[in-house]
A and B are shown apart, each in its own frame.
Chain A
Amino acid sequence: MSESSPETTTPTESETPLLEVRNLKVHYPIYGGLMRKVVDYVRAVDDVSFRVNRGTTVGLVGESGSGKTTIGRSIIKLAPITGGQILYAGSEKENSPKSPTNIAELSRGAFFPFRQKIQMVFQDPFNSLNPRMTIEQIISEPLDIHFSSMGKEEKTARVVELLGKVNLPADARKRYPHEFSGGQRQRIGIARALAVEPEFIVCDEPVSALDVSVQAQIVNLLQDLQEELGLTYLFIAHDLAVVEHISDFVLVMNQGKIVEQAPAAEIYENPQDPYTKKLLAAVPTL
């Protein structure tokens, strides 16, 4: 973006979001009665639309059961999508498409290249790392899948590089998850997500299970990595204080619907929806 001539930075171009979700619905059937017929649906995500611009962080906040995790999971096709579109614009690199693709309707195979571009960091660093694998095996597993041509030494070098990026020593690669603290494990989870050079990372409550002091370290790390690698985040959390800190734009969810969306500063200064006000009131003040 070094050129500033009007031809190269037309408003439409800069406004194309990396990810756009349109009218997303995820409904789970409830079976009942003698014949196990579908009697109703749980509307986990009900007609949700939002956009995420490249290089920014969109915070998604709400209580347990509000559907925020389901949105994150449906973006990486881990949740069954009932309706709506998820448009992913991809990068300018040759191997990814230029015009937005509706990843919601892609088959498993067709979605495969997008799995490299879209990665996820999970909530619980104790359950999301396989206890029987070394850190090197954990971090290099996505490389085996997406960069299968990589040689053994090259992979090790990449693992060491990634450990450095998340501020862990190189010798950590020979150790097992139980030898690390919660914060260190979350760093390993982040390194694993970064291994395949993603553009977009869904962070599903990445700091909820951590001590406040460690939470601060992880949030800072995510911000540093965003600056360094130009990453785009969907940051899911229930703590509005953390979300407000890390996000450019905030979505507030309640019972499967987005009840309010606004720039981060505005949500705090001028909340509109009663539910947002309730969430703000619940944050402890010192």
Chain B
Amino acid sequence: MSDLIACHGCDLLVDVSTLESGSHASCPRCGHFLTRCQHDAMSRVLAYTVAAIILLLLAVAFPFLSFAASGLESVMTLRSAPGSLWNYGMPELAILVAAFIIYIPAIILLLLVSISLPLIYGKNAPWLRFAARGVFTLQTWSMVEVFIIGVIVSLVKIAAMATVGLGISFWAYAGFSICFTLAVAALDRYQCWEMIEAVEASR
């Protein structure tokens, strides 16, 4: 029965037992994506995740953008973007923005490490279910790639007013957004839970 998957789009039962590595299955009735099988999926997840963690640490540590006009200069860091909302009297919005661009992605990355490491070695770990549930619940709410577009739009908006400089953080965050997206995309919901069930059964 575990080879059957119910389509989330139309509830059709589909047999995915013959799915080969490197290919993916879509629902024959409604076309909804079902699952992708990749024999080294967890190694990919771990690789992208580690890269993303390093880049995120860099992005938090250095200046993001600098802005200079008439001899005055101001600098923005990744943390000061939500920080300024806080200072202008919008603490709720500040917390949300900080969560969307830094904290939720960071939590997802830590959970991804805690899932992929035991699964690569085929070992069971007591936190696997909790961590996987966390990842799949939180992933809708990370807006890393949206923030990058926001940065580019901001750049164009103010480029005419003054000299804008790109800091180390900007490049680090751009790289982080790519690695993060790849890490989350490499983790297939169905396959991940099948693997968790398999290592728990082999205990």
A and B part of one assembly: no
